[in-house]
Amino acid sequence: MAEKEPRSSGGSDGSELGTTAREMRAAEPYISAVWKLVGGAVVGVLGGYWLDKWLGTTPWLLVALSLVGISVGFYGFLRAMTRLGKRK
């Protein structure tokens, strides 16, 4: 390339990162926290359903693992939000 040095493209805070990148990085912990809440339930239900089919214990493992998944997801979500609150 003829131009060797990248031209300066600083953000308002002096960072070279674009607005979208800064906002996405700031939002990432919150996205992750919400995914914990949703993903816990999803993994619990799917895992329970699959184990029930495999072991022939319908519907007990589905019920049990759904509750466990929802609880773990909720716990992970609360833990993440508490830590984010502390950091702020």
Partner 1 sequence: MRKAMVLFASLFAAVAWASSGPAAEGEKEDVAAYILHHVSDSHELEIEVPLSHDHITLHLPQILVPFKDGACTPVMTDHGEVTPGLGAGCLDLSITKHTVMMWLAAVLLIGSILIWSNRDKTKLVPRGTGANLFEMLVLFVRDELAIKNIGKEEGPRYVPYLLTAFFFILFMNLLGLFPWMASATGNLAVTCGLAVCTFVVTQLAGIRAAGFGGYLAHLTGGVHPLLWPIMIPVEFLGLFTKPFALTVRLFANMLAGHIVIFFLLGLIFILQHPAVAIISVPFAFGIYLLELFVAFVQAYVFTMLSALFIGMGVAMGHHGDDHGHAHDHKEGGHAEGKAHAMGH
Rounded alpha-carbon distances, angstroms, from residue 48 to 16, 40, 41, 64, 76: 47, 12, 10, 7, 19
Applying CB under 8 A, the residues found at the interface with partner 1 are 1-3, 6-7, 9, 15-18, 20-22, 24-26, 28-30, 32-33, 35-36, 39-40, 42-44, 47, 68-69, 72-73, 75-76, 79-80, 83-84, 87
In the bound complex, what is the minimum distance in angstroms from residue 41's beta carbon to partner 1? 9
Q: Which is nearer to partner 1, 2 or 56 (CB)?
A: 2
56: its two tokens: 């022939």
Nearest distance, CB of residue 65 and partner 1, angstroms:
8
Question: What would the two tokens of residue 37 be?
Answer: 């809440």
State CA 73 to chain mean position distance. Answer: 10
Shortest Cβ distance from residue 56 to partner 1 (Å)?
22
Other beta carbons within 10 angstroms of residue 50's beta carbon come to: 13
